[in-house]
Homo-oligomer: A and B are copies of this chain.
Amino acid sequence: VRTISFLSDYGVADEFVGVCHGVIARIAPEARIIDVTHGIERHDVRGGALVLRNALPYMPPGIHVAVVDPEVGTRRKGVALRLGEDERILVGPDNGILWPAAERLGGVLEAFDISASALRLEPMAATFHGRDVFAPVAAHLAAGVPLAEAGDPLDPELLIVHELPVPRFEEGELIVHALHVDRFGNVALDVSHHELAAAGLKLGEPVEVEYEGTRYGGRYARTFADVAAGELLVYEDAHRALALAINRGDAADALGIGRDAELRIRPGG
């Protein structure tokens, strides 16, 4: 019996998550379920995709369910994907939510369309595939049903791909984009550990952040408390990507930064 991780935008106010746990426990009583989070913003496929990609390496290999599904009940497919690393299997809607995680963890070796899976619950509700499709399929897979019995083979080339913005390096400045804002207002940017190494920022030195023509002074720091309360910092976050924060404050709010905002970061200031 394998572990099932579960991420969604179902929230914790309603019983959606609990019901999916119940469905899994009925089918695979021994399977352990780890809730990655259910706090993805409603219908935010990209936010869910990024959180899944970042969290997955920390989860025990197993079955990984991710449901942010604004098109539930339409012709969009449900899929189960076997990845190159660790025999991980992703389960969810085919709307791009699984893509960044699949890309990072060895790519998709095999894909199955589970929209009409024999492992579904019947009658299937048009509005709650988490309960009627994704949870039961995941539970059966965790209990040992072979992936090929979950649905019909699908060409991985046909999967919906989720494109992310790409940073640029121009004349000594980084041109970066806000990928995601967490509940503390910390802004994850689209610069990885390796790209960052090439950017020439020096720990402890001042940086200038420009957004929509306004320039903000800050510091390239290791952690929040390396700068004064209320001060802006640029730092390598827990996923080793560049991020923007205000120590004990809310950077996204203070600068008015939302998803995909383009910022310019340069040394000095």
- Enumerate A8-41 residues with CB–CB distance to B below 8 Å: 11-15, 17-19, 21-23, 25-26, 29, 32, 34-39
- Enumerate A225-269 residues with CB–CB distance to B below 8 Å: 225-226, 235-240, 248
Q: Which of B25, B236, B238 contacts A131 (CB 8 A)?
A: B238
Most chain B C-beta atoms within 10 Å of own C-beta, residue among A15, A43, A226: A15
Contact B237 A127 (CB under 8 A): yes
Query: Number of A residues contacting the other chain (C-beta, 8 Å)?
Result: 59
Contacts of A26 in B (CB 8 A): 58-60
Q: Looking at the complex, which of A65-73, A152-160, A166-174, A208-216 is the stretch in contact with chain B?
A: A65-73
Taking the full assembly, how many copies of this chain does it contain? 3
The verdict on A55 contacting chain B, using a C-beta distance below 8 Å, is yes
Contacts of A72 in B (CB 8 A): 223-225
As a 0/1 sequence over residues 111 to 129 of chain A, the CB contacts with chain B under 8 angstroms (1 = contact) are 0000000000001011110
Q: Which of B18, B125, B183 contacts A34 (CB 8 A)?
A: B18
A interface with B by C-beta (< 8 Å) = 3, 5, 7, 11-15, 17-19, 21-23, 25-26, 29, 32, 34-39, 42-43, 51, 54-55, 58-60, 70-74, 123, 125-128, 131-132, 182-184, 222-226, 235-240, 248
Contacts of A7 in B (CB 8 A): 15, 18
Contacts of A60 in B (CB 8 A): 22, 25-26, 29
Contact A225 B18 (CB under 8 A): no
Interchain CA distance A35-B18 in the complex, whole Å:
6
13 new A-B contacts at CB < 8 Å, known A72-B223, A73-B226, A125-B239: A11-B39, A12-B37, A14-B51, A17-B37, A18-B36, A19-B59, A21-B35, A70-B248, A73-B223, A74-B225, A125-B238, A127-B238, A132-B238
